[in-house]
């Protein structure tokens, strides 16, 4: 037999597969919204173009870079723990969490500015705009809002994983929880990859 | 799966592979993702008419492919994982197809 023996039954393969199956439900969740977006953009092309001018492309770009970088540090943390480098793995997950906070801070300023300008769901200013623009901002708030909720959930999962790494529950031999947390985090990144050009880059 | 330098672990049915992706590879992919983001942003400034959105979606898809295959380790997983992802995406594509088919006839 091999040198490593297991007392506890486990199936990392099945665990990862379960995570992937869950991610497909997320694809359908966000996918449905992307279809709604596509249909409304198709009907209200001009309004979508006008409304998109109101968004801050710089903040959107900054958040894109933040999420892409956080995805890299997340992926690297798995390499670190596979190599048995516990401290580096913890550091990389914490850096990922800090990037997530950075993302949320930007989101806070972005939304605050919009709300300050009277653009929020149901606001008198927004309701006075043409139908297409109301739909655009409705979708903007719902889709980026649901995405931001995923960021918050992701951070919570990552905090748990810092603890697992710290206590040695996750180690060079058993790291499927970190892998699954990573999969979730990359999904958050994937969704943003589509949200960014579709909402911020319509010129 | 591909290489298993360490055949140490045995879970229920599968030999648990332990493919380690080097830091440098992630860094390389990250640079690629940033470059593609730069292209998306600069391309959005050029007026290509209806092709602007097509280009944006193509670039986003390439970025997704990089994230899926490398960051999410799909490239190193068993074939069944890849089949799952294709089936999920195909399902989504069918949703899109029928929504637009439906829509173009209703109008």
How many Å lie between the alpha carbon of A124 and the closest alpha carbon of chain B?
Answer: 31
Q: Which of A149, A155, A174 is nearest to A99 (CA)?
A: A155
Q: Where are the domains of chain B?
A: 23-76
The predicted pLDDT at position A9 comes to 77
> Which stretch of DSSP H or E encloses residue A169?
none
**pLDDT tens digits, one per residue of B56-85:** 999 999 999 999 999 999 999 999 999 999
Q: For chain A, positions 108-167, list CB contacts with chain B under 8 A.
A: none
**Is A179 in Cβ contact with B8 (below 8 Å)?**
no
Name which of A25, A81, A201 to mutate to probe chain B: the one with the most chain B Cβ atoms within 10 A of its Cβ.
A201
- What tokens were used for A66? 């933040």
**Residue-averaged pLDDT of chain B:** 85
Q: State how far the Cα of A33 lies from the Cα of A51, in Å rounded to an integer.
A: 18
Name which of B1, B5, B6, B11 to mutate to probe chain A: the one with the most chain A Cβ atoms within 10 A of its Cβ.
B11
The architecture in CATH of the region A12-200 reads: Up-down Bundle (1.20)
The predicted pLDDT at position B107 comes to 57
The predicted pLDDT at position B3 comes to 45
**Is B33 in Cβ contact with A68 (below 8 Å)?**
yes
Contact in structure between A49 and A198 (CB atoms under 8 Å): no
Query: What confidence tier does B2 reach under pLDDT thresholds 50, 70, 90?
Result: very low
Q: Which of A158, A77, A65 is nearest to B26 (CA)?
A: A77
**pLDDT tens digits, one per residue of B79-97:** 999 999 999 999 999 999 9
ipTM of the predicted structure?
0.91
Positions in chain A short of pLDDT 70: 1-8
Q: State how far the Cα of A17 lies from the Cα of B84, in Å rounded to an integer.
A: 9
Query: What confidence tier does B106 reach under pLDDT thresholds 50, 70, 90?
Result: low
Collect all residues of chain A within an 8 Å Cβ-Cβ radius of residue B35: none
Q: Which of B25, B17, B36, B18 is nearest to B69 (CA)?
A: B25
Question: Helix or strand or coil: residue A184?
Answer: helix
Contact in structure between A34 and A194 (CB atoms under 8 Å): yes
């Amino acid at each position: 037999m091999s040198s490593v023996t297991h007392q506890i039954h486990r199936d990392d393969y099945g665990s990862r597969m379960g995570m992937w199956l869950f991610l497909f439900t997320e694809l359908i969740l966000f996918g449905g919204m992307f279809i709604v977006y596509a249909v409304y953009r198709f009907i209200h092309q001009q309004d979508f173009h006008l409304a998109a001018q109101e968004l801050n492309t710089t903040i959107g770009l900054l958040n894109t870079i933040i999420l892409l970088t956080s995805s890299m540090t997340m992926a690297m943390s798995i390499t670190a723990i596979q190599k048995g480098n516990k401290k580096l793995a913890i550091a990389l997950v914490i850096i990922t969490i800090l990037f997530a906070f950075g993302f949320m801070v930007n989101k806070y300023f972005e939304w605050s500015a919009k709300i300050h300008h009277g653009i929020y769901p149901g606001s008198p200013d927004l309701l006075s705009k043409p139908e297409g623009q109301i739909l655009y901002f409705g979708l903007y708030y719902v889709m980026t809002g649901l995405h931001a909720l995923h960021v918050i959930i992701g951070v919570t999962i990552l905090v748990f994983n810092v603890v697992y790494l710290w206590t040695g529950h996750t180690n060079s031999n058993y790291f499927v929880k970190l892998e699954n947390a990573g999969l979730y985090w990359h999904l958050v990144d994937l969704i943003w990859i589509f949200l960014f050009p579709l909402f911020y880059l319509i010129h | 799966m591909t290489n298993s330098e360490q055949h140490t672990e045995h879970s229920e049915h599968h030999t648990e592979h332990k493919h380690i992706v080097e830091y440098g590879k992630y860094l390389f992919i990250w640079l690629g993702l940033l470059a593609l983001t730069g292209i998306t942003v600069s391309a959005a400034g050029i007026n290509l008419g209806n092709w602007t959105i097509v280009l944006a979606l193509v670039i986003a898809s390439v970025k997704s492919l990089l994230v899926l295959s490398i960051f999410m380790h799909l490239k190193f997983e068993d074939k069944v994982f890849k089949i799952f992802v294709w089936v999920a995406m195909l399902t989504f594509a069918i949703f899109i197809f029928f929504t637009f088919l439906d829509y173009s006839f209703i109008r």
